[in-house]
Structure 1
């Protein structure tokens, strides 16, 4: 099974990887090609943008968090269904353990380098050759971002020598806005589809050169291990609105495979926890952007307290945990939250947590990550701590208060479905 595939990488964050990947995905999709986009490493927002650009869901690929076998299964399945596979890298090509380069080498996927050429010309060639040879990796070609003119693009192309320039993208009059956890959510951007279409139109793309890329062949993967329906007959209520948006699609798939029914509700709309809920999942998001509305959501706050008092299992991740503290200080005021976790959340400008981590459980570790700008000030004792990968150092605190499990840690459910089932069961150890 094979398909044209590239890993789109750069020397660092901020070079325009997501913009270029979105522009290329939209351009290929509008040309009638079947496109599947993946995101290397843990991320919630970029996949939303890339899914909007390509018209298909975007999954994460990561040799540690997702695991080699699941990455293999996802890529092999995509290769059966589509013409083109785009994998957006994370940070710089060689950053992290494992890195995007490790993923590319593991599955023999060539690299397409994004170069911010806005303040350089011939030096682009030195940069790209260094990226290729350091690993080394199979360098398929280059997309030059923020190019000033056709002459500028020609200088960049000449500097690349034996590496082709696949496309150039000019400096953008309109771009995708950012905030403290990355890009702004696509549904919050007025005219996001028009921006994506403009980017695709502006991308000067050598389709003939693209068509010369040989397909990447993926071996037939081993079948996935069966998941026992440990939550059969159970209903998991998941908070979903603009304050609670950071959920891996793979997490929802695991809950379904465990046999659970899923219902959604909106704390922002002051919707109470659904009466049929056997468990509650409060994922991450941006409660700090909606603190005044959450403070006025009296039905929601009363219902989550009642569910907790009744022993309903509650898993609260990052933003979900923030909404369960006594108060949340967003910088403009201190707002009352649900009060299940004693303490106060303070949003700060400095990054407070970032990186791959693992949470211990009786059934083994749950892999995932953390990324937050707030801190929790609490006297509540931690039941345990996550472990940072690859250092093994102590990571995020995990709090267990009655039926509540809360942490800044975001779990990737496919890494340990049995542990996930226990988290959503009244009988959890």
Structure 2
């Protein structure tokens, strides 16, 4: 991705008064409808979520990227947005950015702040906001809700509304009159209450688009939503609002939770670290991608490649071993608990990963990857033997165990960096360690708004944690991981020559 100084691409944000108001449904409907009109929607998702970006990627046919100023820093977020949008625009002039918000429009970090909220992102990106109003059981009250959304933050660029769960033309007429009368802003259209299929859900959100059930439902959903948007939404008015977005320029000098990232270049990274040069062949990193593991930020994979790594996908579920010639392993989050029996039964893959770890190959895992690399995973009271790199057991619960952004400080060196490194990440888990290490053995000291905790395991050159990192904000872990993989490749090459 080239460095670009400014952005004039049409763009808009879809926001709501709360989760469940219809943001995802409306965003998918607009992506499909705009596709049919010959436009190329570029999908973006506010916040640290993994599931919605999967659906937006599938609908748009392009990788959806996250916009999270807490994880990325405002400068990193804006730079990533400008660069990728301009790159897309050079390929297709009729591109425009479609940004799905998170939670309610003004809901930010910790629930008491607008930091990281959809409103804050819209202001940072100079992107007009279209608010979806859930009017399923309202008419005149929809005007009061819309007025509050318009006036709560006068600097938030609310530009219009779309009504959701409308029962009839007459119902829409009442809602439209109430909203436009209260705000003076246009209501661009509506989506009907009836005949709207929904995506199946589970504990981390919607069923993923890459799963068979998700693919089938999404295909059907897009056809219906595209028809509804084409019939009931004024797309010309929406496009005019998108085109009204002012020019956007990068922000210089930024920090993520007090960590200086001014040299991070918003997603680019210097290749050299720890004295490891770049004159050796590109290291190959095997990335777990299947129904069990699929939670990755696209920017993270891009950064690994920008640092010189080659990404090769593999499946812990179905492959018999790690890809030949790989120099490192990256196992992201996902749903290993839904596939615990198959993962446990694939003993040749387990032995391949164990052998790689004992050979000091760099291995990095997050959340679901951590669960896979532990000794045993308990699901519904039944224990499934896993890879066993870490002498701990994980038990799936029936309720959310931890959620939110955390500052993290490394307590000892690992494959992602030295002791004393300061990071910021996000945790969202339904599982717990039945047997964890002693306090002195943890990798991270966590700080969530003054609440202290610990996370992360490391043995040899294998590292895993519940904490999800976004490399745009703090790229040091990516630099160290790629450097370690390059070093492993060098040592392997020297061994082969002997």
Match of 1:236 among 282, 285, 288: 285
Q: Does 1:375 align with 2:439?
A: no
Match of 1:76 among 82, 89, 103: 82
State the distance in 2 between where 1:37 and 1:167 align. Answer: 21
Tell me the CA shift for residue 291 of structure 1: 0.5
State the distance in 1 between where 2:326 and 2:294 align. Answer: 19
Counterpart of 2:403 in structure 1 is 354
CA contact (8 A) 2:71 2:469 kept: no
Q: State the Cα deviation string for residues 390-411 of structure 1 (Å, max 9, x = none).
A: x243355111122221111111
State the distance in 1 between where 2:219 and 2:447 align. Answer: 38
Match of 2:50 among 25, 40, 44: 44
User: SS at the partner of 1:360?
Assistant: strand
Q: Does 1:85 align with 2:143?
A: no
Q: State the Cα deviation string for residues 152-194 of structure 1 (Å, max 9, x = none).
A: 1111101112121112111244111111111111133225223
CA contact (8 A) 2:210 2:291 kept: no
Counterpart of 2:38 in structure 1 is 32
CA contact (8 A) 1:308 1:402 kept: yes
Counterpart of 1:122 in structure 2 is 140
State the distance in 1 between where 2:85 and 2:311 align. Answer: 30
More displaced stretch, 26-35 vs 222-231: 222-231
State the distance in 2 between where 1:386 and 1:5 align. Answer: 39
Tell me the CA shift for residue 270 of structure 1: 4.0
CA contact (8 A) 2:329 2:364 kept: yes
- Alignment of structure 1 residues 150-161 onto 2, 5 Å: 150-160=169-179, 161=181
Counterpart of 1:401 in structure 2 is 459
Tell me the CA shift for residue 70 of structure 1: 2.5
Tell me the CA shift for residue 247 of structure 1: 0.9
Name stretches of at least 5 consecutive residues in structure 1 with no aligned partner.
Answer: none
Counterpart of 2:186 in structure 1 is 164
Counterpart of 1:54 in structure 2 is 60
State the distance in 1 between where 2:475 and 2:125 align. Answer: 25
CA contact (8 A) 1:396 1:408 kept: no
Tell me the CA shift for residue 365 of structure 1: 3.0
User: SS at the partner of 2:472?
Assistant: helix
Q: State the Cα deviation string for residues 352-392 of structure 1 (Å, max 9, x = none).
A: 12112243354843333111111112232343335346x24
Tell me the CA shift for residue 29 of structure 1: 1.3
CA contact (8 A) 1:3 1:215 kept: no
More displaced stretch, 295-304 vs 58-67: 58-67
Tell me the CA shift for residue 290 of structure 1: 0.3
Name stretches of at least 5 consecutive residues in structure 2 with no aligned partner.
Answer: 1-6, 110-114, 253-264, 411-417, 489-498
State the distance in 1 between where 2:424 and 2:466 align. Answer: 13
Q: State the Cα deviation string for residues 81-120 of structure 1 (Å, max 9, x = none).
A: 1543221111111111311111112232222111221121
More displaced stretch, 190-199 vs 174-183: 190-199
User: SS at the partner of 1:328?
Assistant: strand
CA contact (8 A) 2:445 2:453 kept: yes
Match of 1:197 among 203, 223, 235: 223
State the distance in 1 between where 2:402 and 2:370 align. Answer: 15
CA contact (8 A) 2:407 2:423 kept: yes
CA contact (8 A) 2:395 2:433 kept: yes
- How has the CA–CA distance of structure 1 residues 143 and 267 changed in structure 2, closer, same or farther, with 3 Å as cutoff? same
Tell me the CA shift for residue 78 of structure 1: 5.2
State the distance in 2 between where 1:366 and 1:236 align. Answer: 22
Counterpart of 1:216 in structure 2 is 245
State the distance in 1 between where 2:140 and 2:178 align. Answer: 5
User: SS at the partner of 1:346?
Assistant: strand
> C-alpha root-mean-square deviation of aligned residues, in Å?
2.2
Match of 2:157 among 122, 138, 149: 138
Match of 1:245 among 285, 294, 297: 294
CA contact (8 A) 1:2 1:79 kept: no
- How has the CA–CA distance of structure 1 residues 320 and 78 changed in structure 2, closer, same or farther, with 3 Å as cutoff? closer
State the distance in 2 between where 1:78 and 1:314 align. Answer: 29
Counterpart of 2:255 in structure 1 is none
Tell me the CA shift for residue 125 of structure 1: 0.9
State the distance in 2 between where 1:78 and 1:227 align. Answer: 16
State the distance in 1 between where 2:237 and 2:365 align. Answer: 48
Tell me the CA shift for residue 320 of structure 1: 0.4
Tell me the CA shift for residue 222 of structure 1: 6.4
Q: Does 1:296 align with 2:348?
A: no
State the distance in 1 between where 2:311 and 2:396 align. Answer: 31
CA contact (8 A) 1:385 1:397 kept: yes
User: SS at the partner of 2:148?
Assistant: helix
